[in-house]
Amino acid sequence: MGPASLQGQTLGKYRILDPLGRGGMAQVYRAYHPQLDRYVAVKVLRSDLVEEEEFLARFHREARAVARLRHANIVQVYDFDVQDGIYYMVMELLEGDTLKARLGDYHVRGEQMPTGEMVRILLDVLDGLAYAHSEGMIHRDIKPANIMLTKSGQAVVTDFGIAQMVGGTRHTAAGMLMGTLNYIAPEQGLESKSDARSDIYSVGIVLYEMLLGKPPFDADTPLAILMKHLNDPLPLPCQVDPAIPEPLERIVLKALAKQPEERYQGAAEMAQSLRQAAEETQIALPEKISLPLSFTTTDAPGEAVAVISGTARDRVTDHGFAKDDTDTSLGQRLADAGPTGASPQSAAVKAATEMLRPVAAAVSRLAEGVQAEARTPTEKAVAERLTSKRGVGMAILGTVSLLIGGNLLAVMLGILTNDWSIFGRGWPMEILWVGVGLCAILYASRVPWLMIPISLVLGNGFLFAYSSLTTWWIHWTVLWMLEPFFLIGSIVVARHLAQRGEEGRETARQLGWTLGRLGLLVSLVVMVLGLLF
């Protein structure tokens, strides 16, 4: 276990001077090598992440691979070692700021990074990734905090190998999944499978954030973010900001395809598309990235901070900068979010996740009010009205009111007629009213997958109404066989409607209206017949 701070101590040949920052996986210090008369950055891995038996071998294997990388757009690793249980890596000390800090500066100023600057940064990043991928190294944690913009005008990718080093080949014994969910590829979040195309997806998220000021998918919990990556349609850049050049939007759409085979298959391919987009839109590409804003601010020309790797931090007291730290407990948090606490790698959870993907997508779109399909103002207004939280809330309120009002009406009829058979034989109306409520929610949300519970509830309501009113319960020996047909038929219909897009959702809405009226009519018949007979 390493000490809380190594300031003033010596690690190997390096004299630790002062801390530069702390991130999700490591503490970074500025250090000095007396023999070489060179200042370096020393990244000390968190002691609680290196306690497993396999870590030492993995640390040396990954560190050696990273140290072999020699590219202008990848931070240079000079050395790595372990001393008294302290695992550390030594790398070049670069001066500048992270892309995260740069984007934050533009945001505070109410400005947007020039498009040419965006493309120049991403070309540098992709050049570094293309080289690393050719050497068999996948980054696994590309994000603005891991892209360094140096004072010399280059974008440098940092933290290569750290996620693999700490997280292992897939998961550690504790179920550890590494990454930052806002930027993680769907297959990486679901199964911890990573290849060059996973890094491409993360670069696509970075481009989206540079263009629009925020990542496309965000939520309050890790599981909710992951499900959005898996299922939600991408909020189209042109709908958020019509000024986004169409060629850049096409690059975003391709890079952020849900399926890896539909993305760019390599960093060089994406870089070529970026260059072509710049030519097509006549975007002037600077030869070098401009100096950090902190260097050019007249109020504080000397406040630039040396930033090393993605975990280095400006010396500030506001710790909000740590929001997108690599989550070293991501796997455990996702597991804890499940009902059984099982590992996200378990077959049962994976199977359930696959089955529930369409439902999760629909519910997530409903909750967040995403109307990605609405192109014209009229269509957008209709979509917002039909998929709003308020519409669903009113449907739920109407369902509760129907149950309460219907029961009060039945009680009043029972009192007036002094005949309580309305409850003795007409009780299936309660089930039918629940089905009517689900139909109202379907009408408001246009979520085709609601056809499944509607079919089961209304179907059983009709069967129970028939059996209760006729008292021919012996027919249940045959009627129960209809249950699988209700389920299978509703799944087939729901899937068909979901695949038909906007047309299918509108059809689902009409079905909700029709089935709701039918359910309400049958429930009234049941009430009357239950009272009369």
Q: What would the mean pLDDT of 50-73 be, rounded to a whole number?
A: 78
H or E element: which one contains 322? Answer: none
Q: In the prediction, which pLDDT does 367 show?
A: 40
> Which of the following is catalytic: 124, 127, 141, 232?
141
Torsion from C-alpha of 99, 102, 104, 110, nearest 10 degrees: -140
Q: Where are the domains of the chain?
A: 10-91, 99-345, 382-532
Token couple for 229: 């990556």
Token couple for 417: 């007629």
222 vs 24: which has the higher pLDDT: 222
> Can 124 be counted among the known catalytic residues?
no
Contact 128, 166 (CB under 8 A): no
Q: In the prediction, which pLDDT does 350 show?
A: 47
Q: In the prediction, which pLDDT does 379 show?
A: 38
Q: 480 in helix, strand or coil?
A: coil
Least confident window among 94-98, 284-288, 325-329: 325-329
User: Is pLDDT of 122 > 90?
Assistant: yes
pLDDT digits (tens, 9 = 90+) for 148-161: 998 888 999 988 87
pTM, whole model, 2 decimals?
A: 0.58
Q: In the prediction, which pLDDT does 253 show?
A: 95
Rounded to whole angstroms, the Cα distance separating 245 from 217 reads 21
Average pLDDT value over all residues in the chain: 75
79 φψ region: left (φ > 0), alpha (ψ -120 to 50), beta (else): beta
3-state secondary structure 168-214: CCCCCCCCCCCCCHHHCCHHHHHHCCCCHHHHHHHHHHHHHHHHHCC
User: For residue 329, what are the CA distances in angstroms to 48, 223, 308?
Assistant: 11, 13, 23
Reference 293, options 93, 125, 94, 149; nearest CA is 149
Rounded to whole angstroms, the Cα distance separating 8 from 308 reads 19
Q: In the prediction, which pLDDT does 430 show?
A: 80
pLDDT digits (tens, 9 = 90+) for 517-528: 888 888 778 767
**CATH for the stretch 99-345:** 1.10.510.10
Asked if domains 10-91 and 99-345 share a fold, the reply is: no
Q: Which amino acid is at 43?
A: K
404 vs 299: which has the higher pLDDT: 404
CATH top class, domain 10-91? alpha beta
200 vs 526: which has the higher pLDDT: 200
Least confident window among 389-403, 451-465, 497-511: 389-403
Bridge partners of 80? 89
Least confident window among 60-69, 356-365, 413-422, 428-437: 356-365
Q: Which amino acid is at 495?
A: R
> 386: which residues sit within 8 A by CB, 6+ positions away?
444, 445, 446, 509
Q: In the prediction, which pLDDT does 247 show?
A: 94
In the DSSP assignment, the letter for residue 87 is E
